């Protein structure tokens, strides 16, 4: 799983049916790479989270038919960003 | 499979139900390298060099075919020279 920081919500009204009504978040890695994840947790902006990739991301949504390849799995209680 | 080094445990109280109470560890591909989070199926401690599996093997190794892990520790390497890692 990857360690990423929540930057913001992502609003996307027109979407593929497989994406359902799942919340989307913009995430940034410690290296500054930006990606988008589905969020079943409800992660607020600024928090560090861990996210799973690939088929596991679809399972993490609780629906194997969900069309995602990155899903937030949990909030990290304490995380010091590496310098 | 990948050779990784365990850095520390990762505490996440608010997590999805699919992860249960499985222990999570921060692992690095080398000392000071890129960090990832792995599910611990073995019981290792910080400083151990471990063997990690990805993709569907990670889900299976974590205990169930529908476990949402993409990286699971499946072995502790007895003796790994740090200069190689």
What confidence tens digit (pLDDT) does each residue in A9-57 have? 999 998 888 899 999 999 999 999 999 999 999 999 999 999 999 999 9
Q: Is residue B15 within 8 Å of B9, Cβ to Cβ?
A: no
A56 to B69: CB separation less than 8 angstroms, yes or no: yes
> Is residue A35 exposed (0-12), middle (13-18) or buried (19+ Cβ within 10 Å)?
middle
Q: How many domains does chain B have?
A: 1
Chain A residue numbers touching B68 (CB-CB < 8 A): 52, 56-57, 59-60, 71, 73
Let me know if residue A39 belongs to a domain. Answer: yes
Residue B42 belongs to a domain? yes
> Of the candidates A15, A19, A41, A37, which has an alpha carbon nearest to the alpha carbon of residue A28?
A37
Q: Residues with Cβ < 8 Å from B29, sequence gap 6 or more?
A: B2, B3, B4, B5, B36
Q: Which residue of A has its CA nearest to B59?
A: A56
Identify whether A81 is part of a domain: no
Domain residues for the domain of B24 are 2-76
* Domains: count for chain A: 1
Identify whether B85 is part of a domain. Answer: no
Please answer yes or no on whether B14 and A41 come within 8 Å at the CB atom. Answer: yes
For residue A60, give the CATH number of its domain: 2.40.50.220
* pLDDT attached to residue B14: 95
Residue ranges making up the domain that contains A7? 2-75
Residues of chain B where predicted confidence (pLDDT) is lower than 50 = 85
| Residue A82 belongs to some domain of the structure | no
- Tell me which residues of chain A have a C-beta less than 8 Å from any C-beta of chain B: 1-3, 30-31, 40-41, 50, 52-57, 59-60, 62, 64, 71, 73-78, 82
- Domain of B27: which CATH number? 2.40.50.220
Are B68 and A70 a contacting pair, CB within 8 Å? no
- The pLDDT value recorded for residue B6 is 95
pTM of the model: 0.86
Q: What is the pLDDT of residue B85?
A: 47
pLDDT of A69 reads 94
pLDDT at B83: 63
């Amino acid at each position: 799983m990857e360690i990423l920081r929540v930057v913001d919500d992502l609003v996307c009204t027109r979407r593929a049916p497989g994406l359902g009504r799942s919340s989307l978040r913009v995430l940034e890695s410690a290296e500054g790479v930006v990606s988008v994840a589905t969020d079943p947790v409800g992660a607020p902006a600024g928090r560090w989270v861990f996210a799973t990739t690939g088929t596991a991301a679809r399972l993490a949504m609780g629906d194997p038919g969900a069309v995602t390849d990155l899903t937030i799995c949990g909030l990290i209680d304490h995380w010091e960003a590496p310098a | 499979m990948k050779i990784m080094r365990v850095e520390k445990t990762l505490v996440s109280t608010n997590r999805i139900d699919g992860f249960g109470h499985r222990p999570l560890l921060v692992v690095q591909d080398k000392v000071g390298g890129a960090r990832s989070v792995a599910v611990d199926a073995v019981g290792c401690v910080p400083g151990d060099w471990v063997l990690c599996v990805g993709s569907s093997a990670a889900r299976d190794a974590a205990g169930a075919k529908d476990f949402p892990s993409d990286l699971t520790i499946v072995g502790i390497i007895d003796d790994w020279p740090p200069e190689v890692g």
